[in-house]
Structure 1
Amino acid sequence: MAEGRFATISGVNIHYHDEGQGPVLVMLQGSGPGATGWSNYSRNIAHFARTHRVICPDLPGFGKSDMKPVDAPIPGWWAGMIVGLLDTLGIDKADFVGNSMGGMIALKIALETPERINRMVLMGPGGGSPVSSVFPTEGIKTLVGFYDGPGPSLERLRSFTNQMVFDPGALTDDLLEQRFEAAMDPRIVAQPPMRPGPGGMPEELWRDARLTRLPHETLILWGREDRVMPLDAGFTLMKQIPRARFLVMPQCGHWVQWEHADEFNRIVEGFLAP
């Protein structure tokens, strides 16, 4: 793993990776236990760094970044931190790739400051509303409650990650151990970033009327067998975002960019091409 850098945004230290040269591509991670920017995109960063300047932060509350305040609204506070990071780095506008919570943050940035985003790729993003599936899913319940009850353990993490992918056999012991080490950071154990707090539950972005006026070319990718964010949660976003494309990946769970990395890299590279 490449060495990262730090930037201070409104008193919050954000750890990020800055790889390659060219048009800026911001890659925003999801929110599962042990998640970091690099671990979410370990199979993608090098590919896109050949043609882009890739900025991949650890969201505050994850990895080496400072913690998220317990009363910070989701995803609005994170969206403000990412825009602040762009300001600090002198970046006016960028393409965005966001997985799960990262997709929801990218969408929030598009709604609040549309001029900062060129194109968006959203993989199983939050912010939609399932049409027929039961929600919250077992995957969401496991994610939110990982630190509750009997507390975190490697077996609980294994159970969670098994729900993230179509083929659990693809998960390596090394991957699980890396994520467990990150999840057991004492700061994160004491203040889990996804535990509901005074800031309330995540915002229901699908209710925002501004979705129908977003100007951005948008690619929505979803794993057909996603057990965390069900496929039909994307229908409301696809229907409302005027220039959205919706691509369903077969034999794929919540980590499209990890389970089908080569295909993901090709598709997104084509979408981002000038």
Structure 2
Amino acid sequence: MIYALHGAVGMAADWKSFALSMKQEGEAVARVDLWQFLACCPMPLAQFGNAFNREVHSKQPVLLGYSMGGRLALHALLSNPKMYKAAIIVSAHTGIEEEDKPARQAQDAAWAAKALSGDWDDFLNAWNRQGVLEGGIMPDRSALKRQREAVARSFMDWSVGTQENLLPRLKELSCPILWVVGENDQKFLAVARRAMQELSNGQLVVIPDCGHRVPWEQAEAFHAVVTKFLQSNSESRLSQ
């Protein structure tokens, strides 16, 4: 079972097409609604890993996370490094420098205010106008308005400005990890390359002609690299 974690201002439904394509390969995908973890109360990043792992019941699960979901996936992996068979991290940040955190927290607080009390369409338009998110058409977000309190809380609880820098801890992970990033996403490509220096069993794949939203901007290429990764690791286990 692949547990798929969506990004900021995202939905479990974002993975629908990916889940259908993987079903043809015999792989089941559980599309996780991350907002359930923020529906009633705060959920600090330090607590998310344990909380999420309690919800995973399949044997030898594979963890997939995009952007914010990728950061959350790393927390789940580090919370129980031996729990997962493999992981796929897409366009995710491992953490920022301490001196950069106050500015990021202030920026995310502004996003939280817009998500909570601003015009929803204006908020979505402003979010999607960010340069890093150019390319890749995402599913309609109007239904997400019903969960705007949880979306707003995510900008506070799950801000990279409040996150521990996970880069030094990546050496704790021994399961195979596929790190995927678009070649035009230079900021996150640099992050991915640094992560490769820490991971003992990591593989970096750079998708050509692609930005941040890899699974949607280059859906076929993403499906291909994920399928190859899962098959190669399955074959390697059988040969042991």
TM-score by length of 2: 0.79
* CA 235–217 in structure 1, closer or farther in 2 if over 3 Å, else same: same
Greater strand share, structure number = 1
Q: Is the CA contact 2:6–2:66 (under 8 Å) kept in the aligned structure 1? A: yes
For 2:176 and 2:59, the matched residues in 1 are separated by 18
Contact 1:94 1:117 in 2 (8 A): yes
Change (3 A) 1:236 1:43: same
* 2: CA distance, partners of 1:198 / 1:160: 17
Kindly state the Cα deviation for residue 143 of structure 1 after the two structures are TM-superposed: 6.2
Q: How many residues align?
A: 225
Of residues 35, 47, 62, the one that matches 2:21 is 47
1:251 partnered with 2:223: no
2:145 counterpart of 1:180: no
Q: CA deviation at 1:79?
A: 2.1
Contact 2:89 2:179 in 1 (8 A): yes
Q: Higher mean Cα deviation, 218-227 or 98-107?
A: 218-227
Instruction: Give the stretch that moved more between structures: 109-118 or 187-196.
Output: 187-196
- Which residues of 2 match residues 63-74 of structure 1 at below 5 A? 67=39, 69-70=41-42, 72-74=43-45
One-letter code of the match for 1:204? Answer: N
Question: Which residue of 204, 208, 221 maps to 2:165?
Answer: 204
Matched residue, 1:111: 78
Stretch moving more, 213-222 or 199-208: 199-208
Q: How far off its partner does 1:191 sit?
A: 6.8
Alpha-carbon separation, structure 1, partners of 2:229 and 2:197: 19
Supply the distance in 2 between the matched residues of 1:191 and 1:243 (Cα, whole angstroms). Answer: 33
1:109 is displaced (CA, Å) by: 2.1
| 1:77 pairs with 2:26 | no
- CA shift digits 1:30-86 (9 cap, x unpaired): 122xx11122x133010112311211110135xxx761622x221x33322321111
Looking at secondary structure, tell me which structure has more helix per residue: 2
Which secondary structure state, in structure 2, belongs to the residue aligned with residue 204 of structure 1?
Answer: coil
Does residue 236 (structure 1) correspond to residue 194 (structure 2)? The answer is: yes
Contact 2:49–2:77 (CA under 8 A) maintained in structure 1: no
CA contact (8 A) 1:165 1:252 kept: no
Per-residue deviation, 1:127: 1.9
- Residue 38 in 1 paired to residue 13 in 2? yes
Aligned to 2:184: 225
Which residue is equivalent to 1:216?
Answer: 175
The amino acid that maps onto 1:231 is L
1:73/1:202 contact within 8 Å kept: no
Runs (5+) with no aligned partner, structure 2: 235-240
In structure 2, what is the equivalent of residue 171 of structure 1?
Answer: 137
Name the residue aligned to 1:86: 56
Q: What TM-score do you get using the length of structure 1 for normalisation? A: 0.70
Structure 1 unaligned residues grouped into runs of 5+: 1-23
Over the matched positions of the two proteins, sequence identity in percent amounts to: 20
